[in-house]
Amino acid sequence: MRFSHLLTRSICAATFAVIALILPLRPAIAAEYTDLWVTLGEDAWGVNFVQWDSQIYATFFIYGPDKMPTWYGAVMNRDGSGNFSGALFFTQGTYFANPWNPSDMIPENQAVAGTASFRPSTTNNFQGTLIYTVNGVKTVTKPVQRYSDHAAIPLGGSYYGAESGDYSGCASTGTFKDRFPLQVTQTSNSLTLVFAYEDAGATCTMSGAWVQNGLLYSIPTATYTCNPGFTTTAAMSNIKQTAQGIEGQYSAPGTFGGCQEDTRFSAVRK
């Protein structure tokens, strides 16, 4: 556990109920892409991703040769390389002012219009490449990113949660789990997270300028101070408001015993 070389700690059954909320520790880049995706500098078109485990349902808002809106959807499945691909569908339905008529729909076996794929960035989870083909007319390749031109998502508040992490590159290599009250303070340009570890009797603070990419926040260079303990820097990523609270992850060199620390955390709002 964290601080194990300084303090002997135990974790009660209640801890594991909280830790069950934690995502698996690896990979470092969280594979969750639900968001609105756009191409920078190209207003008025985009694609919505809703992800269920290894499948993404994508709805496109693009335009036909008459420059009028055209509706397409795709169901893309993740492969062993972490990319997604599947069929692209053209759909039609009843005029919105009329009662719904199922016979206005195109039969499913006639609705396939092409293919679509999404290749996430290998260095982050807020950029990628979208490739799609419609009726054999053209293969369109677009660099896409999460839409971020909107108001900041509020994260500040009091939480209670747990984390799961590991130490590497040092004599104290191993995994740990912790529980804590968490206090988050947000300003127009910074985030501060204070973890008050119950079993260790220690408090750790991470603070720095935030960057927002769609639904996600990151702090590329956060000050990371533990009392008692150390002062170093951390790269925080995938910080996200959830329905019940907050989650995120971070990596930091030079922690206890010179260890590299990689941790994920999740907390519910008090």
Answer with the residue of higher pLDDT: 60 or 172.
60
Q: Is the model's pLDDT at 29 over the cut of 50?
A: no
In the chain, the percentage of residues whose pLDDT exceeds 70 is: 89
Whole-angstrom Cα distance, residue 247 to residue 228? Answer: 25
End-to-end CA distance of the chain: give it in Å, rounded: 25
Q: Tell whether the model's pLDDT for residue 199 goes beyond 60.
A: yes
Average pLDDT of the chain is 88
Report pLDDT digits (tens) over 31-79. Answer: 799 999 999 999 899 999 999 999 999 999 999 999 999 889 999 999 9
Q: What are phi and psi of 49, to 5 degrees?
A: -110, 130
Greater confidence (71 vs 143) lies with: 143
Q: For 101-111, write each residue's pLDDT tens digit.
A: 999 988 876 78
Question: How far is residue 184's CA from residue 200's CA, in Å, rounded to a whole number?
Answer: 20
The amino acid that residue 34 corresponds to is T
Of the chain, the percentage scoring pLDDT greater than 90 comes to: 74
Distance CA 72, CA 215 (A): 24
Question: What distance in Å separates the CA atoms of residue 239 and residue 51, rounded to the nearest whole number?
Answer: 18
What's phi and psi for 166, nearest 5 deg?
A: -145, 155
Using pLDDT thresholds of 50, 70 and 90, give the confidence band for residue 28.
Answer: very low
Place of tokens 């990523």: 237
What's the Rg (C-alpha) of the chain?
Answer: 22
pLDDT at 256: 81
pLDDT, mean of residues 71-98:
94
